[in-house]
Amino acid sequence: MSVSCTNSLKKIVLITGANKGLGFEIALKLSQKNFKVIMADKDKQFESKNKIICRSGNEDVYDYFLDLSSFESVRCFTKKLLEKESYVDVLVNNAGIFCMKQRKTADCLDGVMQVNHLGAVHYYNTKLCNMIASKGFAEKLQKNNIMSNCVHPRMMNTTLLTKSHKGRGDFCSNLEESAAKFIVKSVTRDAAQCVNAVAFLAYSDKVKNVSGRYFCDYQVHREPRVLEDKQFCDAIWKESEKLVGLQ
C-alpha cells in the first residue's frame, strides 16, 4: 500500500482486484469515507461498481480493466488512467491468486508470481516479495513524500483459496475443495475486521508519516528476519526490475 499526500479534499484510491472479496469490501469502505475510488480488475463487472455507489451514496467510483498476468494490460491500464488522473493518493495492491499448479502467462512467467508480485515461486514466496518491494519503495520514494507499507489483514473467507482447486473435475479435486472450504471457514475473520485493518492505513492520521513498516491488527509488527538481509532484498528488487523490463 502506497500513499502520497496532496491537498485534494477527496483523495483518490486505486484498488486492484476490487470486484469481489476483500478488494470489493475495501472499495466500499473507502467510498464510504468519501474517497474517489478506482476499481481495477480483470473481471470488469458494472454491478460491483453500482453496488458500491448504491450502498455508499458516493458516485465517484470508476472501474477499469486490468489483468496483472499481462504486462501489456498493465501498460494499457496505466495509459488510460493517466488520461483521466494526474495522480493517485492511495494504491492498494490487493489483487492476488493462489494456484496449486504452475501455469505460464503470456509473458512466459509463472502466473502466481506475475499476478501477485511482478504485475503487482508461489503464493507465500510472492507475499515475501511484496514485503521486499514495499520496503524498497519506501526507501526509494521517501524524497517524494510517498509512503509505502505492508499490511496483513488476516484471513478473510473469500474464493481465493477454494477456487485454486476448481477446474479438474475429479474426485480428489472435489474433496480438496470441500476440505479447503471447511478449513477456511474455521479460521477466517469477517469482512469488516479484515477491511478495517487495510483501510486504516489509507485514512488514519496516526500513520500518515509512517513508511516502510509491516502492519498487523493496526500495529507495527516485526518483519520476517530475511528482510534484514539487504543483499538478498536488493537481489530480489533487481531481478524484479529485470523481469518487468525496467532494466
Q: What is the pLDDT of residue 190?
A: 72
Separation in Å, CA 61 to CA 45, 47, 52, 116, 205: 13, 12, 8, 24, 23
Q: What is the pLDDT of residue 168?
A: 47
Q: What is the pLDDT of residue 132?
A: 95
Both 92 and 170 in one domain: the answer is no
Both 18 and 114 in one domain: the answer is yes
Q: What is the pLDDT of residue 6?
A: 43
Q: What is the pLDDT of residue 237?
A: 94
Both 33 and 136 in one domain: the answer is yes
Both 71 and 114 in one domain: the answer is yes
Domain final residue, candidates 141, 169, 188 = 188
Domain final residue, candidates 188, 205, 234 = 188
Both 21 and 85 in one domain: the answer is yes
In the chain, which stretches have pLDDT less than 50? 2-8, 100, 119-121, 162, 164-165, 167-172
Q: What is the pLDDT of residue 169?
A: 47
Domain final residue, candidates 141, 165, 188 = 188
Both 168 and 91 in one domain: the answer is no
Both 102 and 18 in one domain: the answer is yes
Q: What is the pLDDT of residue 40?
A: 94
Q: What is the pLDDT of residue 165?
A: 47
Both 105 and 91 in one domain: the answer is yes
Q: Are 113 and 126 in contact (CB under 8 A)?
A: yes
Both 65 and 166 in one domain: the answer is no
Q: What CATH number is associated with residue 234? A: 3.40.50.720
Q: How many domains does the chain have?
A: 2
d(CA 16, CA 42) in angstroms, rounded, equals 9
Q: What is the pLDDT of residue 191?
A: 74
Q: What is the pLDDT of residue 20?
A: 87
> Position of cell 534484514?
228
Q: What is the pLDDT of residue 98?
A: 54
Both 87 and 172 in one domain: the answer is no
Q: Which domain holds residue 168?
A: 155-188
- Which of 172, 162, 123, 151 minimizes the C-alpha distance to 214? 151
Q: How many CB atoms lie within 10 A of CB 180?
A: 16
Q: What is the pLDDT of residue 95?
A: 84
Both 9 and 75 in one domain: the answer is yes
Q: Are 12 and 185 in contact (CB under 8 A)?
A: no
Both 15 and 132 in one domain: the answer is yes
Phi–psi pair at 92, nearest 5 degrees = -110, 105
